[in-house]
Amino acid sequence: MAIGWNGGKREGQSTNGALLQWTQPESPWQETQAVCRKLGVMFLGTDTGDQPWDIATSPKDLQDGASMTLLLGENTLAGFSRGTRYSGGVETNWACPLPNFCMFIASDDVCRTQGSATDCLAGSLQPTARSKDGPGWAWANRPGTFENIGYGQNLSVKGSFPFANSGHPGGGNFVFCDGATRYLSNSIDGTVYARLISPAGGQLPAPLRQGPLAADALDANP
């Protein structure tokens, strides 16, 4: 049974679903690990830890710095459920979770172009100048995508919104990898948000590379 991280536009959400292409076919980059490791901190894995999707993040992988990398975010539509359409009607909880009931992502619309919705190398993430990120990263948090922070307040079904969402007006609490907790605005700039989620954005392959996050970036995006 295929369980996605999202619904369809008819549900008032996104039209995601296809696998994002972060690398060229037959690329030397390890599609299952090398790029993903730089795009997030925590991933679901197996108890043996020997599968391609088992990605363990260590402090040395936080190349953007622990104080500039998000670890946890609020989501009022995650956690225990007796079963919804997003779990195939099966009860889910923290001991036996599905990704959309325990994890959060940013919008995959960062990869969207006129020619493709899933090819991340189609140009939307290509840096436009030194330390200036490609325009696609701004879509990591943009109203109208139905994947922006806080949009889940319009929804009620558990598992229907694998994006950050709190019960607070205007924003939510996030925990950083250094243990600090900060309240971030729902309207935080998408490019800043994308850099906060990516633990090694400056080490991504050249067509995807993010610039450094300025020390005062969060002060401008409380």
Q: What is the pLDDT of residue 222?
A: 64
Residue type (1 letter), 170: G
Q: What is the pLDDT of residue 183?
A: 95
Q: What is the pLDDT of residue 30?
A: 60
Whether the Cβ atoms of residue 86 and residue 3 lie closer than 8 Å to each other: yes
The whole-model pTM stands at: 0.86
Q: What is the pLDDT of residue 31?
A: 58
Q: What is the pLDDT of residue 33?
A: 63
Whether the Cβ atoms of residue 80 and residue 96 lie closer than 8 Å to each other: no
Q: Give the total residue count for the chain.
A: 222
55-to-2, 30, 69, 72 alpha-carbon distances in Å: 21, 12, 17, 17
Q: What is the pLDDT of residue 150?
A: 96
Q: What is the pLDDT of residue 3?
A: 37
Q: Which of 65, 58, 152 has its CA nearest to residue 105?
A: 152
How many CB atoms are located within 10 Å of the residue 55 CB? 20
**Residue 21, SS3?**
strand
* H-assigned helices in the chain: 34-39, 99-102, 190-197, 217-220
32-to-55, 56, 125, 137, 206 alpha-carbon distances in Å: 9, 12, 19, 21, 18
Q: How far apart are the first and last CA of the chain?
A: 40
Cα–Cα distance for residue pair 58/139, rounded to 1 Å = 28
Q: What is the pLDDT of residue 143?
A: 94
CA atoms within a 13 Å half-sphere pointing along the CA-CB vector of 11: 18
In tens digits, what is the pLDDT along the chain, a chain of 222 residues? 233 444 333 344 444 456 677 777 666 656 556 788 889 998 877 888 887 778 888 999 999 999 999 999 999 999 899 999 888 899 998 887 788 888 889 998 999 998 888 888 899 999 997 779 999 999 999 999 999 999 999 999 999 999 999 999 999 999 999 999 999 999 999 999 999 999 999 999 889 999 998 877 777 666
Q: What is the pLDDT of residue 173?
A: 97
